[in-house]
Amino acid sequence: MKKTMVIMAAGMGSRFGGLKQITAMGPSDEILMEYSVYDGIRAGFDKVVFIITEAMKDEFDKKIGSRVSSKIEVEYAVQDLNDIPAGFKVPQGRVKPWGTSQAILAAKNSIKTPFAVLNADDFYGQEAFSVMAGYMDSLKEGVFESAMVGYKIEKTLSKYGSVTRGICQTGNGLLQQISEIKDIEYGPNGTIVYRDGQKSGTLNGDELCSMNFWGFTPHLFDYLEKDFARFLKEKGSELKSEWLIPITVDDMIQSNVTKVTVLQSGDSWFGVTYPEDKPRVMKRIAELVEQGVYPSPLFGGSK
Q: What percent of the chain has pLDDT over 70?
A: 96
Strands (E), 25-162: 47-52, 73-78, 115-119, 122-123, 145-152
Task: State residue 275 phi and psi, 5-degree precision.
Answer: -55, -35
Average pLDDT estimate for 155-173: 89
Confidence of residue 19 (pLDDT cuts 50, 70, 90): low
For β-strands 145-152 and 73-78, DSSP reports them as: unpaired
Q: Tell me what pLDDT residue 121 has.
A: 87
Give first-to-last CA distance, the chain, whole Å: 33
Q: What is the pLDDT of residue 14?
A: 40
Residue 15 pLDDT greater than 70, yes or no: no
Tell me how far apart the alpha carbons of residues 19 and 34 are, in angstroms, rounded to a whole number.
15
Q: What is the pLDDT of residue 20?
A: 62
Measuring CA to CA, how many Å separate 67 from each of 36, 62, 74?
A: 14, 8, 10
- For residues 204-210, average pLDDT: 91
Q: What is the mean pLDDT of the chain?
A: 90
- 141 burial (CB, 10 Å; 0-12 / 13-18 / 19+) is exposed
pLDDT band at 188 (very low <50, low <70, confident <90, very high): confident
User: In angstroms, what CA-CA distances link 240 with 18, 54, 233, 296?
Assistant: 19, 21, 15, 40
Give helix 220-235 / helix 245-254 axis angle, nearest 10°: 110
pLDDT in tens, 223-261: 999 999 999 999 999 999 999 999 999 999 999 999 999
Report which of 148, 185, 139 is spatially closest to residue 168, judged by C-alpha positions.
148
Domain residue ranges in the chain: 4-150+210-290
- Cβ count near 23 (within 10 Å): 19
Report the greatest alpha carbon distance in the chain: 55
* pLDDT above 50: residue 17: no
pLDDT computed for residue 302 by the predictor: 43
Q: For position 27, what pLDDT does the model report?
A: 93
**Mean per-residue pLDDT, 264-270:** 83
Q: What is the pTM of this model?
A: 0.90
Report cis status (omega within 30 of 0) of the bond before 297. Answer: yes
May I ask the CATH architecture of the domain 4-150+210-290?
Answer: Alpha-Beta Complex (3.90)
pLDDT tens for 86-134 read 999 999 999 999 999 999 999 999 999 999 999 998 999 999 999 999 9
- 157 or 98: whose pLDDT is higher? 98
Task: List beta partners, residue 214.
Answer: 117, 148
CA-CA distance, 154 to 165, in Å (whole number)?
11
Helix-helix angle 126-137:32-43, to 10 degrees: 40
Dihedral sign for Cα 283, 284, 287, 288, please.
negative
Q: 79 falls in which pLDDT band (50, 70, 90)?
A: very high
Q: Which of 6-20, 39-53, 257-271 has the lowest mean pLDDT?
A: 6-20
Q: Which of 139, 80, 133 is nearest to 105 (CA)?
A: 80
Secondary structure element (H or E) that encloses residue 176, with its range: strand 174-186
- Among 38-47, 182-191, 257-266, name the most confident range: 38-47
CA distance 279 to 84: 39
pLDDT of 196 higher than 90: no
Task: Answer whether 217's CB lies under 8 Å from 252's CB.
Answer: no
